[in-house]
Structure 1
Amino acid sequence: MVARLLDEDPEAAYGYSRVALRLASRVAAVREAAGFAAYATQKYGEALAEFRAAKRMTGNIDLWPVMADCERGLGRPEKALDMAGAPEVHKLDKAGQVEMRLVAAGARRDMGQLDAAIVTLQSPELASNSVQPWTARLRYAYADALLAAGREPEAREWFAKAVEADRDGSTDASDRLAELDGVEFMDALAEDEDEGEGEGGDAAEEQKD
């Protein structure tokens, strides 16, 4: 239930995770699920505690990037950066290393170090034309950092590249790109409703007449 509800109703997922913890707190998968439920509801202290417990039980370091992001959520970007430079990072698979890079760049931005955030994201994975599950998010983060640094033409280029890689709509890169291009979207349904109300009003007036 936690996995099923996590994206659509994180508060409900969190509620189920608390029940699971009461029933089976010594099961690593339960602690991990509870961590993700707490993370999704921005309870970063709880999430970090659960992730640490799961890591102790399994010895698995896959949770290292999200643990570092919890440190960011707790207002400790320096700690997140320390974790980004730890030996555990070298044990992560490619996806985990990219995730760690995203967290480290976010920590740099938290500290007001925009140029350092941009440099952190510059990597072989960013330069590659191959589209991987992380490509859209990596390109999006790079574009967003460029825009924050006032480098709008470069940001537009990378938002466009993020759109190309974003096959499942995991980012709002297309909206950001349209915003930079000055494109405004109208709600056609709302317009139709307004026109319908106007027509109804006219008809009512005619009936009164």
Structure 2
Amino acid sequence: MVARLIDEDPEGAYGYSRVALRLASRVAAVREAAGFAAYANQKYSEALAEFRAARRMTGSVELWPLMADCERGLGRPEKALDMAGAPEVQKLDKAGQVEMRLVAAGARRDMGQLDAAIVTLQSSELASHSVQPWTARLRYAYADALLAADRSGEAREWFAKAVEADRDGSTDASDRLAELDGVEFVDALVKDEADDAADEDDKD
């Protein structure tokens, strides 16, 4: 239920996770699910505690980037950067290492280090032409950092590349690109209602 609800109803997912914790707190999968539910509700201290518990039970490092992002959420970007340089990162798979890079870049931005954030995201994964599950988010983060550094021309190029890789709409790269191009979207339903109201006024 946590997995089913977490995207559309994070509060509901969190409620189920609390029930699961009461029933089976010694099960690593339950602690991990509770961590994800807390994380989705921005309860970062709670999420961090659950992720740590799951890691102790399994010995796995796959939650390391999420734990580091919780540190960011708690206002401790320096701690997140320390974790980005820890030996555990070398044990992550490629997806985990990319996620850790995203967290580290976010921590740099939290500290006002925009140029360092941009450099952090520059990698072989970013330069690759092959599309992986993480490609759209990586390109999006890079474009967003460039835009924050007032490098709008480069940012537009990378938002466009993010759109190319974003096959499941996991980012709003297309909206950001349109915004940079000065394109305005009009809600068709709202426009129709406005037109109908104008017609009624004309009749009056």
TM-score (norm 2): 0.98
Residue 159 of structure 2: aligned partner = 159
Q: Cα distance, 1:181 vs. partner? A: 0.6
Q: Cα distance, 1:186 vs. partner? A: 1.2
Residue 108 of structure 2: aligned partner = 108
Partners of 1:197 and 1:109 lie apart in 2 by 46
Unaligned runs of 5+ in 1: none
Residue 9 of structure 1: aligned partner = 9
Q: Cα distance, 1:6 vs. partner? A: 0.1
Partners of 1:185 and 1:32 lie apart in 2 by 40
The one-letter amino acid paired with 1:3 is: A
Bigger-Rg structure (1/2): 1
Residue 142 of structure 1: aligned partner = 142
What is the alpha-carbon root mean square deviation over aligned residues? 0.9
Residue 47 of structure 1: aligned partner = 47
Partners of 2:85 and 2:41 lie apart in 1 by 27
**Mean Cα displacement is larger for which, 34-43 or 182-191?**
182-191
Q: Cα distance, 1:187 vs. partner? A: 1.5
Partners of 1:156 and 1:201 lie apart in 2 by 42
1:142-189 deviations in Å (ceiling 9; x for gaps): 000000011110000000000000000000000000111111111121
Residue 131 of structure 1: aligned partner = 131
Partners of 1:32 and 1:103 lie apart in 2 by 19
Q: Cα distance, 1:22 vs. partner? A: 0.4
For the pair 1:99 / 2:92, whether they are aligned, the reply is: no
Partners of 1:156 and 1:67 lie apart in 2 by 31
Partners of 2:105 and 2:4 lie apart in 1 by 30
Residue 194 of structure 1: aligned partner = 194
Unaligned runs of 5+ in 2: none
* Identity within the alignment, %: 86
The one-letter amino acid paired with 2:95 is: A
Partners of 1:123 and 1:201 lie apart in 2 by 59
Residue 69 of structure 1: aligned partner = 69
Partners of 1:181 and 1:104 lie apart in 2 by 29
Residue 78 of structure 1: aligned partner = 78
Q: Cα distance, 1:31 vs. partner? A: 0.2
Residue 20 of structure 1: aligned partner = 20
Partners of 2:131 and 2:88 lie apart in 1 by 26
The runs of at least 4 aligned residues of structure 1 exceeding 2 Å deviation read: 197-203
Q: What's the secondary structure of 2:62's corresponding residue?
A: coil
Partners of 2:159 and 2:179 lie apart in 1 by 11
Q: Cα distance, 1:202 vs. partner? A: 4.6
Q: Cα distance, 1:198 vs. partner? A: 3.0
Q: What's the secondary structure of 2:170's corresponding residue?
A: coil
Q: Cα distance, 1:197 vs. partner? A: 2.5
1:45-103 deviations in Å (ceiling 9; x for gaps): 00000000000000011000000000000000000000000000000000000000000
TM-score (norm 1): 0.96
Q: Cα distance, 1:201 vs. partner? A: 4.5
Partners of 1:113 and 1:201 lie apart in 2 by 54
The one-letter amino acid paired with 1:162 is: A
Q: Cα distance, 1:200 vs. partner? A: 3.6
